[in-house]
Amino acid sequence: MTSETFRNQGLFLRNQFQGEGIFEIPIVKKQHVNVETITLIGYDHVKPEEKEFTHAMVHFFLDDYKFEVLWNNPEPRIKKLAQYRAVLTPQYSLYTEMPMTLQLYNTFRNRWVGAYLQSRGITVIPTVCWGTPQSYWFCFDGLETGSIVAVSTLGVRTEKELFMHGYQEMIKRVNPEAVICYGNPFDEMEGNIIAVDYAKTNNLSKWADYICGEKEIPFNSNLIVKRYGYVLNEKGMGRASGQWKPKKEDDKRFLGKPGETKTTTKKNGDTYITRIGKNGRATSERHNSTHGNPKEHPNPHEHDVIWQENGAPTLGPGRPVSEKNKYINFGGVIKMSNQYEPKFEDLDDFLDSLLRGREIVIEYHGKQYGIFYLEKGFYVAQSYHDETKKVYSTPDDALKYTIDGVKIKDIITTVEIVHRGI
C-alpha cells in the first residue's frame, strides 16, 4: 500500500458520512422499529449463523475491548450482525474522569459505526451516553429528532443526579419516539420508556427459567454469573481459568495450598471453614451461622465453590450439613480473622456480591437485614423476624424493599456490612 492509498482510505479519513456540529459527528438516521416487544442480545453472544434469535437486537453494554474490532475493521462483522432485527450503536465509554478529547472521540466512534452499519443495510438504534455537562457540547450530535434511542442505567446509580441531568437534556434536544432502557429506569425518567431487564439479557436458551431466578440453578450447570447479571456459557463450566485476584482481604480464603483448610472468623463471631482443593482453589465452604435467618439457613450449612470461566469464585446453593459430618475435625487448619466487611463501592459491587456470594447481611439503624439469593428467588427480611420476609424474582426488585421508609437501593452504599459471602 502506497502512502497516498493509505491516506485516502475510508478507515483512515472516516469522512464518508454526513456530519453534524462543529466536530462533524456522523449522523445516525432515524429508523422506525417496532418496540412493543424487545429482546436484546450482547455482541459477545452473536453467532455467525443464527438460527433461533434473529428477532433480537444486538447491544454493546459490555466492556469496550469486546467490540473494539467494530471500529478497527467493521466489514467482516456485517454478515453476522445483519442476521438480527436491529443493532444498537456501540457504547464506547464516556467516563467523567476521561479527558474531554477522549469523550469526544468515543462519541464520534459511536455514531460512525452506526452510520456505517446503516450504509450496509442494517437497522440501527443509536445508544446515547454523556458525561458532565461539558460533554453536552457534542454528545447529542448525530441524533435526528424523534429517533428511537437506547440508554443504560447500569453503573450510574451512584451518580444519579449527573445521569438525570444529561437524560433530561437528551429528552429536550432529541425528543425521542421511545427510549430503550437497559436496566431499571429511574422513576424520574420521562418519555416512552421500554425497560429491558439486564438479568434476562443474553439468556436465550432452555436455561432461561434458571437464569432468571425462577428455578434453582442446577449444581454443575453451565451458568456463569458475571457483573451486571447472568451469562450462559454453552461450552460448559467447572474448569477454573483466568487469573482471578482477590479484591478484598477476606476473599483470599478461596486460594491456598492443596489440601489446606482455612477458618475465617467474622466480626460478629461467625466462622467459615473453606476447603482448598488439589488445584489450590477452594472446593467448598461451611458457614457456622444462620445469617440471622434460621428458617432459610441452618447452622451449619455448606456451599460448593464454583469457579467461573474468568477464574472468579461463586458460591453455589447452601445445603444443610448432615449430623454425621456436623462436628468433623478438619486437619491442617489455618486461622484467619476478619475485623470488618468493606462497604459496597456502588450498586454493581452489591449485585456482584449477591449473585456470586448469595448471602448478605446489612445493619441499618441498629437492625440487621438479610438479603439472600435462594431457591425461591431473592429473599429479604429483618434478622430473626421471619414475618418481615419478602421474596422477589430479580435482584433489582429486591432493592425496592423498604427499611424505615427507605428503599435498600438508596442506602446500600452507606449501610454497615455484617456479612457478604463474596
| DSSP state string for 287-350 | EE--TT-TTTS-SSEEEEEEE-TTS-EEE---EEPPGGGTTPPPSSEEEEE----PPPSSHHHH
370 pLDDT more than 70: yes
Grid coordinates representing 200? Answer: 434476562
Q: What is the DSSP letter of 184?
A: P
Report, as an integer, the average pLDDT of 167-192. 93
Read off the C-alpha cell for 331: 486437619
d(CA 350, CA 352): 5
d(CA 139, CA 125) in angstroms, rounded, equals 15
Query: What percent of the chain lies above the pLDDT cut of 90?
Result: 38
Q: Is residue 334 very low, low, confident or very high in pLDDT (cuts 50, 70, 90)?
A: low
Query: Could you tell me the pLDDT band of residue 337, with boundaries at 50, 70 and 90?
Result: low
Question: Over the stretch 47-98, which tens digit does the pLDDT of each residue have?
Answer: 888 888 899 999 998 878 788 889 988 998 999 999 999 999 999 988 888 8
Helix, coil or strand: residue 200: helix
What was the pLDDT predicted at 136? 93
Q: With bands split at pLDDT 50, 70 and 90, how would you rate the model's confidence at 236? A: very low
DSSP secondary structure string for all residues of 31-61: -----SS--EEEGGG--TT-SS-TTSEEE--
- Residue 289 scores a pLDDT above 70: yes
Place of cell 461463586: 314
Q: What is the DSSP letter of 411?
A: T
Q: Given this model, what pLDDT does residue 138 score?
A: 95
As a whole number, the mean pLDDT across the chain is 82
Answer yes or no: are the C-beta atoms of 117 and 94 closer than 8 Å. Answer: no
Residue-wise pLDDT tens digits, 376-398 = 788 999 999 999 999 987 777 88
Placement of cell 417496532 in the chain? 34
**Res 197 pLDDT > 70:** yes
Place of cell 464516556: 94
Kindly report the number of other CB atoms within 10 A of residue 171's CB atom.
15
DSSP H or E stretch at residue 385? strand 385-392
Is 81 or 299 the better-scoring residue by pLDDT?
81
Q: How far apart are CA 150 and CA 140, in angstroms?
A: 12
Distance CA 200, CA 94 (A): 25
Residue 222 reports pLDDT greater than 90: no
Decide if pLDDT at 36 tops 70. Answer: yes
pLDDT of 369 higher than 90:
yes
Mind listing the pLDDT tens digit for each residue in 254-269? 888 888 898 888 777 8
- pLDDT at position 389 is 92
The distance in angstroms from the start CA to the end CA of the chain is 53
Q: Which of 20-29, 127-136, 218-227, 380-389 has the lowest mean pLDDT?
A: 218-227
- Buried residues in 228-237 as b, exposed as e (16+ CB within 10 A): bbbbbeeeeb
State the amino acid at position 254 in one-letter form. F
Output the nine-digit C-alpha cell for 254: 478461596
Cα separation, 125 vs 104, in Å, equals: 19
| Cα–Cα dist 124/130, whole Å | 19
Going by pLDDT thresholds of 50, 70 and 90, the confidence category of residue 39 is confident
pLDDT at 359 over 80: yes
Residue 44 pLDDT level (bands cut at 50, 70, 90): confident
Residue 382: count of CB within 10 angstroms of its CB: 17
Contact 258, 331 (CB under 8 A): no
Threshold 0.75, pTM exceeds: no
Angle, CA of 377, 380 and 381, to the nearest 5°:
140
Q: The dihedral of CA 341, 252, 319, 265: what is its sign?
A: negative
CA distances for 361 relative to 91, 104, 294, 400, 401, angstroms = 35, 42, 13, 16, 14
Tell me which residue of 188, 190, 57, 184 sits closest to 127, measured CA to CA.
57
More confident residue, 339 or 80: 80
- pLDDT at residue number 227: 31
pLDDT at 328: 52
